[in-house]
Chain A
Amino acid sequence: MITADFRAKAEKEWQKITNPSIPQIFIGMATCGEAAGALSIYKSIESTLMKNHIEARIHKTGCLGMCYCEPMVDIIKPGQPRITYRNLEPETAAELITDYLVNNNYRTDLALGAWGEAIDGIPNLFEIDFLKYQERTALKNIGVINPEDISQYIARGGYKGFEKALCTQQDEIIDEVEKSGLRGLGGAGFPTGFKWKECRKTESYPKYLICNADEGDPGAYMDRSLLESDPHSVLEGMLIAAYAIGCSRGFIYIRDEYPLAIKRVRTAIEQMGQYELLGENILDSGFNFDIEIREGAGAFVCGEESALLASIEGNRGMPRHRPPYPAESGLWGKPTDINNVKTLANIPAIITNGAEWFADRGTGSSKGTAIFALTGKVANRGLIEVPMGITLRKIIFDIGGGIPNGKEFKAVQTGGPSGGCLPAELLELPIAFDSLAVAGSIMGSGGMVVLDEDTCMVDVARFFLDFAKQESCGQCIPCRLGTKQMFDILDDITKGKGRQTDIDMLLELSESVAHTSLCGLGRTAPNPVLTTLRYFQNEYEAHINHKRCHANVCRLLVEEGNIDE
């Protein structure tokens, strides 16, 4: 066990941070924070503290998910709540330090919110629109703790789920997960408990566990944020899964476009080793497990589980036919369980709080919460965790704050290249695995890109087909050539060379590609075309018949149109 001593020490240490004797400063240093300039803020704050001889402690945290407010800084002053400041520049950050820490001026103009209570014109952070409707379980630690310090994670109840799991029968853990109704949050929505059970049943050893962090969907970054801001929650989920299934070796497959996530996970794994949470005889339970990081090398198709296996084995990442499923014959022919980052991050909470607690939220067949990366033409862009069954309108207009610059909402794209575009008529659609499938889209890994009136839907369809065409592994013909043909037709339409027969041709091609491709990439590649045709056929017709692009995106059409006039 993590000794009670150590947990108490960690909690005491955390108490010192939340209820400090000297000011505590937290700077959001995830990739998005750094891209927004968090490093220069860090330097500026450090030098201001030195100059004014202020004794304070600086923590590097992850990202709170409010990417529209980056770079962000939190300050806890002795006797005051934690206050979050937004959109800082190096100069304003320096001002803030002197004003707040020296002159006791709250700087309400820079503040976003105070944690837990409203003070002096600063609203309660959790009451502002972006956070009010969210229910954070998997994301509960992001932006709160220092991801490179295991004791902060432990102080906030970390590894309690694993400790509880170690005292439980393995079958009971799997039953609990099955009862909770947790479904794979990587896109396909396969029941997690069932997968585990299958893998546990297979009589072949050793068994492997893989965490799929190859988040290739353009427009989605939930896994990156989670791994950068709270890697231990995912690793704890892996430990529980490995114990329940009986795996002895685990891999976490992260794409190499996320160097910071790789670094933080590496640190986290090292720390787990120090606290006997990895290796032989973990916490004196007789359970052995090791986690290894494998970097992806920039192939979208490796997010598909059989391609991922091929990549870990050191081959070209090409999918193979299923069945046999990895649960029977996976990595090196051994039973392998593959789960997404977000699925695993939900496990500790399910084990600690019980299946009923988890199943309480959500709709009939989609339990718990969904994590989305809300991006595109929306005012509040960021990471959200909402209960399943929430409507699109609530997400886009209440949490996201609507469309900026007074533009009109046109569509929302969910599920990346495998998903579809949903129009304004479907804004009341509740988010769940089944309802999205009926509308022609998918839940996907959780990318949610909002499109406004300046977006041309034909161009969006062309963009996704271009992506699918480039990322197709080239193994099966429907995907390799079908996506190319569809792309060519769409390209012609956007260039004003559309023919009357194009729409029928696209529909026909979509059907054959979707039905005959080998893996998920090909099978879902036509989705963006099908949904845009279903909901925005008038735009296709305008492009083909009148050579017009109403959004002024398709350049050749726009330029020719100008000449005509």
Chain B
Amino acid sequence: MNKIAPVLSFFKKRDDKPSDKELIRENPCIDCSLCLEVCDKGLWPSILLEDIKNGRFADSKKHGIDECNDCGDCTTECPMSIPLFKYLRLGKILSFYNGNKSGLIPILLELQSNFGYLPKDMVSHIARFLKLPEGHIHSVASFYKSLRLTPPGRRHVCICRGTACHISGAPQLTRDTEKLLGIKEGETSTDNEYTLDNVACVGCCALAPVITVNSETYGKMNSDKVQKLFKKTDTKDENPG
């Protein structure tokens, strides 16, 4: 039993997550300091949250945000269900670029490598932090092909459409893969397992045609190999370990 549990019982444990609007305008934090207690690194996540919310990146660095190891304990313990963990991640990225506007694209890329895509709420936070209009961020995010605003499937399959791949049979490979996975290019399967995309060129032209699955590269593909590749990864995942 936690030390301050009796005090906590006065507050009703919230089941719903506070909305982002709430988080910014009001502060649902009740200063229980549970997050401080559970943090292995001795950080105080709720203080860091305040720093990040107010754009004080120098302070958040001073308070040791770089040491956060993304364990997520603070979020699970928070009696007010504040998604601390999400904010700390964002804060870490933003404090690295010190709220610099020119770091927008690296920030978005880093955010995407953390979440797999650019969640809408995070985009609006970035806009506020960098003092940019939200529309600008959307215009940038929709311009670049690597940035995506929708979550990809668990396995992100990209077929290379470089010249060497094209003449070595990439169009046929695309048709085979589409048939095998039951989705068209640019789509995500309904069970969120596969997303099929194309990539301009991964620079492995000597091994054409090339497919990448979650940034692992497979060369000299043909329809048999495609079948084997997706079968293999399927069975591997069914028996983890």
Contacts and interface: CB of A to CB of B under 8 A. Distances in A.
Interface of A: 31-32, 34-36, 67-68, 70, 215-221, 224-225, 256-259, 294-300, 311-317, 332, 373, 375-377, 381-382, 413, 416, 447, 449, 451, 455, 460, 463-464, 467, 471, 473
Given A32-B206, A375-B206, A295 B105 contact: yes
B104 interface: yes
B147 A297 contact: yes
Nearest to B103: A314
Interface string B208-225: 101000010111000000
Interface of B: 101-106, 108-109, 139-140, 143-147, 161-168, 199-208, 210, 215, 217-219
A67 B206 contact: yes
Contacts of B199: 257, 298
Given A34-B217, A295-B109, A70 B206 contact: yes
B217 A256 contact: no
A403 to B, nearest CB: 12
A219 B106 CA distance: 26
Nearest to B147: A297
Given A70-B206, A300-B200, A219 B163 contact: yes
Contact of B140 (A315, A377, A447): A315
B143 A376 contact: no
Nearest to B102: A314
Nearest to B108: A297
Contact of A297 (B145, B165, B208): B145
A74 B64 CA distance: 46
B139 A413 contact: no
A67 B144 CA distance: 30
B163 A416 contact: yes
Contact of B167 (A447, A460, A473): A460
A451 B161 CA distance: 16
B140 A219 contact: no
Nearest to A474: B143
Contacts of B139: 316
Contacts of A67: 204-207
A287 B4 CA distance: 58
Contacts of A219: 162-164, 201, 205
Contact of B217 (A35, A376, A382, A471): A35
A314 B200 contact: no
A297 B109 contact: yes
B106 A294 contact: yes
A316 B143 contact: yes
Nearest to A301: B143
Given A35-B219, A312-B102, A463 B146 contact: no
B163 to A, nearest CB: 3
A251 to B, nearest CB: 10
Contacts of B218: 35
A314 B205 contact: no
A299 B143 contact: yes
A204 B215 CA distance: 42
B211 to A, nearest CB: 10
Contact of B161 (A218, A220, A297): A218
Given A31-B204, A219-B205, A463 B163 contact: yes
A424 B229 CA distance: 38
B199 to A, nearest CB: 6
A256 B146 contact: yes
A298 B144 contact: yes
A547 to B, nearest CB: 20
A218 B219 contact: no
Contacts of A36: 207, 219
B101 to A, nearest CB: 5
Contacts of A312: 102
Nearest to A293: B106
A32 B205 CA distance: 8
Nearest to B210: A35
A376 B203 contact: no
B95 to A, nearest CB: 17
B163 A257 contact: no
A256 B167 CA distance: 24
B204 A297 contact: no
Contacts of A35: 204, 207, 210, 217-219
A218 B163 contact: yes
10 contacts: A31-B204, A67-B207, A70-B206, A218-B163, A220-B203, A221-B201, A298-B200, A314-B104, A377-B167, A377-B168
Nearest to B164: A375
A295 B106 contact: yes
A381 B167 CA distance: 14
A297 B200 CA distance: 11
A220 B202 CA distance: 9
Contacts of B144: 296-299, 317
B191 to A, nearest CB: 26
A376 B108 contact: no
A388 B168 CA distance: 29
A519 to B, nearest CB: 15
A256 B219 CA distance: 19
Given A258-B203, A316-B139, A317-B143, A218 B162 contact: yes
A332 B165 CA distance: 38
B167 A297 contact: no
A14 B239 CA distance: 46
A36 B221 CA distance: 11
B64 to A, nearest CB: 22
B120 to A, nearest CB: 18
Nearest to A376: B164
Q: Which of B146, B163, B168, B204 has the most CB of A within 10 A?
A: B163
A451 B167 contact: yes
